Amino acid sequence: MARRLTYRAAGVDVGLKERLVPRFRQIARATLRARSPATAGQVKVGVLGGIGGFGALMMLDGIRRMRSPVVVAGTDGVGTKLKIAFATGRHNTVGIDCVAMCVNDIACYGAQPLFFLDYIATGQLDPKIALQIVQGLARGCRQAGMALVGGETAQMPGFYKKGEYDLAGFAVGVAERKLIPSLRAMKAGDILVGLASDGLHSNGYSLARKVLLQRARLRLDQTVDDLGCPLADELLRPTRIYAPLACELFHRFAIKGLAHITGGGIVENLPRVMPDGLCAQIERASWSVPPIFSLIERLGNIARGEMDRTFNNGLGMIAIVGKTQADAVLNYLRSKRQRAWTIGQLVSGRRGVRFV
């Protein structure tokens, strides 16, 4: 008689997943007290039921005090940056990346982040790796001032290589409708303010890995003189979370537009928040470019246009503001220890980006 098969024998350990749920719940608990400093007291998330149930239940206390609240949602993943985590066995920061990629998108509408859900898919669940990932997610949620309320951990034997997984997430926030940028408000002469990135963030890793690890044959544990640190430290540097600061900007200044500079670089992302008839004229020498970008450009013999279409090149976000407010916005950002520069202005012309 054939041996009886079980789900566990097929590669899915349901019991392990159930045993991890209390640990996930404990890690997430600290995020339930997270609050965005920009609108503290305006909207708070009261979690009625979070990790472990079929759905996360939230009460949005204070939303009635907003004149016209608009729910803003965004979803994204970490991409092939995960390959660096697999190669190094360091999984405690990619959760921050996942949160950042989602909340920085919804921040472009002045949205206060409220709650976050994640999706982790793997071939065989490794409890140590899973806990590191969730700890990173919780850290990211605390930085963003939002609650980690749940997610899904899927075991898919044979679908992923041993030790590998995919990670994605979903963020929800709320914005005051009158603060959401309008294309009609922009005009020639408006100023572009660039906010510094912390490096590659979570974009362009397929090209970065090909250049640094395959063509240049650098080792991840190798200290690179240009970087002043081991290559792995640079490549695993978490994506900066701009959401709380962006929310503050929208409540203090008349922000006409805000673009999150992700895959596609400035040339693809900035025009997404601009109207027809206006072109972004940007001065290349106006901001500091982290050395990781020049290293990739040099070792890969990559054309400037290809760099522009692939990486953020040192700018994680770009705000569009009126001339009269540009200095005040810059001073405020710098008072919050956010490096920022005036990088150009809007001019009449075909919608797009022009470097000078």
Residue 163: HSE in the Cβ half-sphere, 13 Å Cα cutoff: 9
**265 in Cβ contact with 302 (< 8 Å):** no
What class has domain 183-355? alpha beta
pLDDT tens figures, 40-56: 445 665 666 666 667 77
Please report, for residues 61, 87, 258, the alpha-carbon distance to residue 284 in angstroms, rounded to integers and kept in the order given: 45, 35, 19
Q: Which pLDDT score, from 0 to 100, does residue 95 have? A: 97
Q: What is the mean pLDDT of residues 214-218?
A: 97
Tokens standing for residue 296: 């990739």
pLDDT tens figures, 91-114: 999 999 999 999 999 999 999 999
pLDDT band, residue 150 (cuts 50/70/90): confident
**314 in Cβ contact with 196 (< 8 Å):** yes
pLDDT tens figures, 47-97: 666 666 677 777 776 666 778 889 999 999 999 999 999 999 999 999 999
Nearest 10 degrees: CA dihedral of 117, 122, 128, 131? Answer: 0
pLDDT at 251 over 50: yes
Share of the chain above pLDDT 90, in %: 75
Degrees to nearest 5, angle at CA 264 with 259 and 269: 20
**112 in Cβ contact with 175 (< 8 Å):** yes
- From the centroid of its chain, how far is CA 262? 8
Q: Which pLDDT score, from 0 to 100, does residue 125 have? A: 85
Q: Which pLDDT score, from 0 to 100, does residue 55 have? A: 73
pLDDT tens figures, 315-333: 999 999 999 999 999 999 9
Tokens standing for residue 211: 């250049």
Burial (CB count <10 Å: 0-12, 13-18, 19+), residue 277: middle
**138 in Cβ contact with 148 (< 8 Å):** yes
Q: Which pLDDT score, from 0 to 100, does residue 19 have? A: 75
What class has domain 14-179? alpha beta
Q: Name the residue with higher pLDDT: 252 or 17.
A: 252
What is d(CA 225, CA 303) in angstroms, rounded to the nearest whole number? 23
- All structural domains of the chain with their residue ranges: 14-179, 183-355
What is d(CA 144, CA 134) in angstroms, rounded to the nearest whole number? 15
**278 in Cβ contact with 186 (< 8 Å):** yes
Helix axes 94-106 and 127-144, enclosed angle (nearest 10): 30
pLDDT band, residue 247 (cuts 50/70/90): very high
The answer to whether the predicted template modeling score (pTM) of the entire model surpasses 0.85 is yes
Q: What are phi and psi of 6, to 5 degrees?
A: -130, 165
What is d(CA 142, CA 189) in angstroms, rounded to the nearest whole number? 37
Please report, for residues 78, 130, 154, 217, 339, the alpha-carbon distance to residue 97 in angstroms, rounded to integers and kept in the order given: 6, 15, 20, 26, 20
Please report, for residues 1, 101, 223, 240, the alpha-carbon distance to residue 260 in angstroms, rounded to integers and kept in the order given: 61, 9, 30, 11
What is d(CA 114, CA 247) in angstroms, rounded to the nearest whole number? 12
What is d(CA 312, CA 262) in angstroms, rounded to the nearest whole number? 6
Q: Which residue bears the tokens 């920009």?
A: 38
Mapping DSSP onto H, E and C, the string for 6-65 reads: CCCCCCCCHHHHHHHHHHHHHHHHHHHHCCCHHHCCCCEEEEEECCCCCCCEEEEECHHH
pLDDT band, residue 39 (cuts 50/70/90): very low
Using DSSP bridges, classify how beta strands 257-260 and 229-230 pair: parallel, antiparallel or unpaired: unpaired
Tokens standing for residue 286: 């106006």
Written as one letter, the residue type at 243 is: A
Q: Which pLDDT score, from 0 to 100, does residue 222 have? A: 96
Mean pLDDT of the chain: 90
